[in-house]
């Protein structure tokens, strides 16, 4: 009887282990979807597609991009938040939806801290403070000196965007008077800087690059703590204002509750992708800079960014866009 019991026990153990192995099938065993909360065709969408193509090769399964724009990026991320936390639905997120939107007066129903799990920071998006050729501001210090006693209207790409808040942070840090002039995007802000309707603006580097080369606009500084790889000749604002840092960025997120082994595999896969020289070149061609951070350092980075922008937003008056 004892041998029979032993055989039955061993058989049962074997079946249990086989079932466990089937349940814990190696990730991924089917295609992965990246929800891109941006319109198709833009640079952010382009970065998502580069990462998807290369990540598919690393993981050994297709990785497809599903565009779900809306609500400043919150619409797509809400879909990610509601997905099964198994690694097969992940999403791109950027500065606005992750660390600015939750602190706004009419915030979308997205709580990144409770609903999303950071996987990896992917890229930084260079923003630059520019002045018109005839503004009289030859460098950042001349602007800040003037703005101590006289208001210098400062254009941006829209109320509560990273561009807007970067200028507000500069104003509060230096006690300069830089009243915001919101536009509907960087392009119209650049046009008014060139035309002299507004003396300075913080805009996407790519939107003003041609004017900088032509000399119709002058770059006073990038908002990131270090100089941009895309334009290393432009000083960082931090070189004049120590400690200033207002980077725009994007990263990858999963639904809250993703198992640690799956999170680690996705993060390592993204790291492998971003280490490829050809991928770095493609991202730079889209006016962004590869900037990998793994899950834990990315979460720490997000926490600091969220606290920074919460403080800035709390001090702002309501404004209207031009």
Going 38 to 42 to 47 to 50, the CA torsion angle's sign is positive
pLDDT at 72: 86
pLDDT digits (tens, 9 = 90+) for 283-322: 999 989 999 999 999 999 999 999 999 999 998 876 544 5
Q: What percent of the chain has pLDDT over 90?
A: 83
Query: In this predicted structure, what is the pLDDT of residue 41?
Result: 86
How far, CA to CA in Å, does 167 sit from each of 7, 103, 193, 286? 74, 17, 15, 24
Q: What is the tens place of the pLDDT at every residue in 35-54?
A: 999 888 888 999 999 999 99
pLDDT score, position 11: 52
Closest CA to 198 of 148, 131, 141: 131
Residue-by-residue DSSP string for 36-51: E-S-TTSHHHHHHHHH
- Give pLDDT tens digits for 81-113: 999 999 999 999 999 999 999 999 888 899 999
Host H or E run for residue 85: none
Q: Mind listing the pLDDT tens digit for each residue in 239-283?
A: 999 999 998 999 999 999 999 999 999 999 999 999 999 999 999
Domain architecture of the chain: domains with CATH: 32-123+249-313 (3.40.190.150), 127-223 (3.40.190.10)
Q: Mark 29-46 as b/e (b = at least 16 C-beta within 10 Å).
A: eeebbbbbbbeeeebbbb
């Amino acid at each position: 009887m004892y041998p029979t019991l032993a055989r039955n026990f061993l058989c049962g153990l074997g079946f249990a282990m086989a079932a466990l192995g089937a349940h814990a099938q190696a990730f991924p065993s089917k295609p992965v979807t990246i929800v891109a909360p941006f319109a198709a065709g833009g640079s952010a969408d382009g970065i998502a597609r580069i990462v998807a193509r290369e990540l598919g090769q690393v993981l050994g399964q297709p990785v497809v991009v599903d565009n779900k724009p809306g609500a400043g990026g919150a619409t797509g991320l809400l879909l990610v938040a509601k997905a099964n936390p198994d690694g097969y639905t992940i999403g791109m997120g950027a500065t606005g939806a992750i660390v600015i939107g939750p602190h706004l007066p009419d915030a979308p129903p997205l709580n990144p801290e409770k609903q999303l799990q950071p996987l990896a920071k992917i890229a930084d998006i260079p923003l630059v403070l520019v002045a018109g050729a005839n503004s009289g501001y030859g460098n950042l210090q001349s602007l800040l000196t003037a703005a101590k006693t006289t208001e210098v209207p400062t254009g941006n790409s829209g109320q509560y965007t990273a561009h807007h808040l970067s200028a507000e942070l500069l104003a509060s840090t230096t006690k300069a008077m830089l009243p915001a002039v919101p536009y509907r995007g960087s392009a119209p802000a650049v046009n008014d800087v060139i035309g002299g309707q507004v003396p300075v603006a913080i805009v996407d580097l790519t939107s003003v690059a041609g004017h900088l080369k032509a000399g119709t606009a002058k770059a006073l500084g990038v908002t990131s703590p270090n100089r941009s790889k895309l334009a290393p000749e432009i000083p960082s604002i931090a070189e004049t204002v120590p400690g200033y840092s207002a980077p725009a960025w994007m990263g990858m997120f999963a639904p809250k509750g993703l198992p640690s082994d799956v999170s680690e595999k996705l993060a390592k896969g993204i790291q492998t992708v971003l280490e490829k020289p050809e991928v770095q070149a493609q991202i730079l061609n889209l006016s962004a800079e590869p900037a990998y951070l793994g899950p834990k350092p990315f979460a720490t980075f997000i926490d600091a960014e969220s606290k920074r922008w919460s403080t800035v937003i709390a001090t702002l008056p309501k404004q209207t866009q031009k």
